[in-house]
């Protein structure tokens, strides 16, 4: 069976075919999870957000008119829910980078090297979490999800020029944060 | 000192360093960097960050997590269906404005400007239709003094009441005989005359009754 396009799956779902919805979920669950995970920096939150995105999609896709691509809509909802989560967390002054994930290793690294890599990775993640909302969203969608500026522009409703600026400033701020952290820790 | 002739390129530098620009853009940016110290410095600032980010190991989650995602989603959808409220939340968008409109409409009806005047015709006509002058006098008296007339045993009070009844009856009779009303009262056809009264004529009777403070 040839792979159906997103809009074809939506059409079939609108006609009552539940398996088409399942297919869409399988197609996008990992992407949605990782966008949420990178913005929220928390596995449980990312899981909740991903579930909520598809619960919303289950209702919304029945009326989906196809003005934009399905994934654009899914990613936009994901980014918005994730940023809302971060705002609520900030308001409660609670923030953590969880240890749920594991770093891929070739298996030959020494424990010290693994620890060092993990610490550096954590520092970069912290730096990403410190970014202002727009820069963070642009950075994650561009750098980590490797979407084009045009796709990100559709998702975030921002101009391509503005996104390029956000992306550049995000990378610059990550570098500054890491440098500051190294200086502080070496004192 | 070289002169920079092309547009500054800071916002394209991350893509340039990552190698995610096309050949034409790469050539343009390279040429600009050859002549622009400011952009070169910007590039040096972010170069190490870009390589560090590139070196970041991939994060992973256990494969069982994604395998269990869809079944958990269906459980959540099922729970949501079971919790579904009896009313459709979308109905709020329709019912709230409609109900507000209805409430405002009825509130406006109670505003004095829209308030319906009590129709004296409605209260006078039953008094005079089907009644003889004596009946009218009795009714008018009853209306004015109600239970007092029926219950009093004081002759002075009773006489006063009766006089007022007489006056009321006379006012109605005078009004009906008023030439301006183009009516000629025929004692034998009194009933028919009363029934043929139009609203203006009833108004006239009301004015007269008010002048005599009978209404």
pLDDT higher than threshold 50 for residue A117: yes
Note whether A178 contacts B: Cβ–Cβ < 8 A. Answer: yes
pLDDT at residue B212, as a whole number: 55
Is residue A106 a contact partner of residue A77, using CB atoms and an 8 Å limit? Answer: no
**pLDDT band, very low/low/confident/very high, at B86 (cuts 50, 70, 90):** low
Which residue, B175, B214, B85, B189, is CA-closest to B132?
Answer: B189
pLDDT higher than threshold 90 for residue A19: yes
Instruction: Choose the closest CB to B56 out of A26, A47, A124.
Output: A124
Note whether A171 contacts B: Cβ–Cβ < 8 A. Answer: yes
Contacts of B80 in chain A (CB under 8 A): 55
Is residue A32 a contact partner of residue A50, using CB atoms and an 8 Å limit? Answer: yes
Query: With a cut of 0.85, is the ipTM above it?
Result: no
Q: What is the mean pLDDT of residues B149-174?
A: 58
On the CB side of A141, how many CA atoms lie within 13 Å of its CA? 31
Q: What is the mean pLDDT of residues B53-67?
A: 86
The structure tokens listed for A71 are: 């994934």
Instruction: Choose the closest CB to A121 out of B13, B57, B66.
Output: B57
For residues B86, B91, B96, B99, the Cα torsion angle rounded to the nearest 10 degrees is -80
Q: What is the mean pLDDT of residues B128-132?
A: 51
CB contact under 8 A, B45 and A172: yes
For residues A10, A13, A19, A20, the Cα torsion angle rounded to the nearest 10 degrees is -10
pLDDT higher than threshold 70 for residue A11: yes
Of the ranges A133-142, A177-186, B4-13, B193-202, which one carries the lowest mean pLDDT score?
B193-202
- DSSP letter at B59 equals E
Strand, helix or coil at B144? helix
**10 Å Cβ neighbour count for A33?**
22
In degrees rounded to 5, what are phi and psi of residue A7? -65, -30
How many Å apart are CA B144 and CA A44, to the nearest integer? Answer: 83
- DSSP letter at A102 equals E
Maximum mean pLDDT: which of A80-94, B107-121, B170-184: A80-94
pLDDT at residue A66, as a whole number: 76
The pLDDT tens digits for A37-53 are 999 988 999 999 999 99
Maximum mean pLDDT: which of A85-99, B95-109, B131-145: B95-109
Q: Going from the N-terminus, what domains does chain A have, and what CATH number goes with each?
A: 1-95 (1.10.1740.10), 108-187 (1.10.10.10)
In degrees rounded to 5, what are phi and psi of residue B7? -65, 145
Strand, helix or coil at A132? coil
pLDDT higher than threshold 60 for residue B54: yes
């Amino acid at each position: 069976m040839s792979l159906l396009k997103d809009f074809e799956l939506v059409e079939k779902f609108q006609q009552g075919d539940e398996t088409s919805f399942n297919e869409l979920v399988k197609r996008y669950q990992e992407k949605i999870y990782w966008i949420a995970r990178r913005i929220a920096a928390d596995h449980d939150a990312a899981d909740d957000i991903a579930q909520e995105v598809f619960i919303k999609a289950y209702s919304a896709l029945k009326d989906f008119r196809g003005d934009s691509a399905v994934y654009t809509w899914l990613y936009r909802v994901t980014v918005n829910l994730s940023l809302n989560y971060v705002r609520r967390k900030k308001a409660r002054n609670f923030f953590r980078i969880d240890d749920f994930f594991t770093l891929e290793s070739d298996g030959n690294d020494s424990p010290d090297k693994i620890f060092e890599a993990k610490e550096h990775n954590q520092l970069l993640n912290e730096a990403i979490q410190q970014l202002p909302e727009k820069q963070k969203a642009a950075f994650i969608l561009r750098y980590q999800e490797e979407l084009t500026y045009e796709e990100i522009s559709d998702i975030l409703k921002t101009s391509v020029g503005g996104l390029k600026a956000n992306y550049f400033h995000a990378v610059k701020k990550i570098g500054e944060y890491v440098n500051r952290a190294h200086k502080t820790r070496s004192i | 000192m070289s002169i920079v002739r092309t547009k500054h390129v800071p916002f394209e530098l991350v893509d340039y360093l990552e190698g995610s620009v096309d050949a034409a853009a790469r050539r343009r940016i390279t040429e600009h960097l050859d002549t622009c110290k400011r952009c070169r410095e910007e590039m040096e600032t972010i170069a190490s960050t870009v390589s560090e980010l590139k070196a970041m190991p991939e994060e992973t989650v256990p494969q069982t997590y994604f395998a269990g995602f869809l079944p958990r989603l269906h459980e959540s959808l099922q729970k949501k269906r079971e919790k579904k409220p009896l009313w459709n939340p979308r109905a709020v968008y329709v019912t709230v404005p409609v109900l507000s409109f209805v409430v405002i409409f009825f509130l406006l009806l109670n505003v004095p400007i829209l308030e319906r005047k009590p129709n004296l015709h409605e209260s006078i006509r039953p008094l005079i239709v089907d009644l003889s002058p004596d009946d009218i006098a009795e009714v008018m008296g009853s209306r004015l003094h109600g239970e007092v007339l029926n219950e009093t045993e004081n002759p002075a009070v009773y006489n006063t009441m009766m006089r007022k009844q007489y006056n009321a009856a006379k006012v109605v009779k005078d009004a009906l005989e008023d030439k301006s009303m183009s009516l000629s009262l025929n004692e034998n056809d009194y009933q028919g005359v009363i029934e043929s009264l139009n609203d203006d004529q009833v108004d006239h009777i009301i004015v007269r009754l008010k002048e005599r403070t009978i209404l």
